[in-house]
């Protein structure tokens, strides 16, 4: 028996878009590596593990080298810091670009006199924050902001972290 489906043009376009979708949640640029001027590098996240009942989140980022001329991608299993969050971890609030939001923070002495004012991030429970964001943002925006904060955090500790082989 022969089977034929009659699919309208707009649905054919939808099917083509689905079939051409890359299987990745986010891909963001990383700094160039001095040792490899012919390549640019990105951080790519394809896999995540989320266990909300246990308050657990893990993204599995990979550093990918992409040849600047040919566009060929290479996964050399380059070192990437762990991206695992537990129910007691905190995260800073970020804007739509993944940049930390800073708030005026006042410090007072024992006599309740203003001593200092700084611009500091507001921290919230990380897993709850991700859960909330997933309810109000599209998944790509959510992961872009989260991975950008991860990159910024790691570079704050070691500015050269992603420039080494």
**Separation between Cα atoms, residue 152 and residue 159, nearest integer Å:** 9
**3 in any annotated domain:** no
Q: Note whether 83 and 100 are within 8 A (CB).
A: no
Q: Which two tokens stand for residue 93?
A: 């609030």
What is the DSSP secondary structure assignment for residue 6, as one 8-state letter? -
For residue 106, what pLDDT is reported? 97
**37 in any annotated domain:** yes
- Please tell me the pTM assigned to this model: 0.72
pLDDT confidence bin for 33, thresholds 50/70/90: confident
* Average pLDDT score, the chain: 90
Q: Note whether 139 and 21 are within 8 A (CB).
A: no
Q: Note whether 118 and 107 are within 8 A (CB).
A: yes
Residue 164 reports pLDDT greater than 80: no
pLDDT tens-digit series, residues 78-108:
888 888 999 899 988 988 777 889 999 999 9
For residue 109, what pLDDT is reported? 96
pLDDT tens-digit series, residues 101-146:
999 999 999 999 999 999 999 999 989 988 888 888 888 888 888 8
What is the domain extent for residue 129? 24-157
pLDDT confidence bin for 35, thresholds 50/70/90: confident
User: What is the phi/psi pair of residue 53, to 5°?
Assistant: -65, -25
Q: Note whether 29 and 64 are within 8 A (CB).
A: no
Nearest residue to 61 via CA among 131, 151, 126, 128: 151
Structural domain total, the chain: 1
**2 in any annotated domain:** no
Give Cα 58 to chain centroid, integer Å.
Answer: 11
Nearest residue to 98 via CA among 13, 158, 29: 29
Q: Note whether 25 and 145 are within 8 A (CB).
A: no
For the chain, counts of helices (H) and of strands (E) = 3, 9
Q: Is residue 155 classed as helix, strand or coil in its secondary structure?
A: helix
For residue 161, what pLDDT is reported? 87
Q: Which two tokens stand for residue 14?
A: 């939808």
**Separation between Cα atoms, residue 16 and residue 2, nearest integer Å:** 23
Chain position carrying tokens 């959510």:
142
């Amino acid at each position: 028996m022969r089977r034929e489906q009659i699919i309208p043009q707009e649905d054919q376009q939808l099917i083509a878009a689905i079939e051409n979708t890359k299987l990745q949640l986010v891909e963001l640029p990383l700094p160039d590596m001095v040792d490899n001027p012919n390549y640019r590098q990105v951080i790519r996240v394809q896999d995540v593990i989320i266990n909300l009942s246990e308050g657990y989140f893990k993204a599995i980022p990979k550093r990918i080298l992409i040849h600047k001329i040919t566009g060929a991608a290479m996964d050399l299993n380059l070192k990437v810091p762990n991206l695992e969050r537990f129910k007691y971890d905190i995260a800073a609030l970020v804007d739509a670009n993944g940049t930390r939001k800073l708030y005026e923070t006042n410090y007072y002495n024992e006599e309740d006199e203003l001593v200092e004012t700084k611009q500091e991030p507001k921290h919230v429970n990380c897993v709850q924050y991700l859960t909330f964001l997933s309810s109000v943002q599209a998944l790509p925006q959510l992961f872009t902001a989260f991975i950008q904060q991860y990159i910024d955090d790691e570079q704050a500790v070691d500015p050269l972290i992603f420039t080494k082989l």
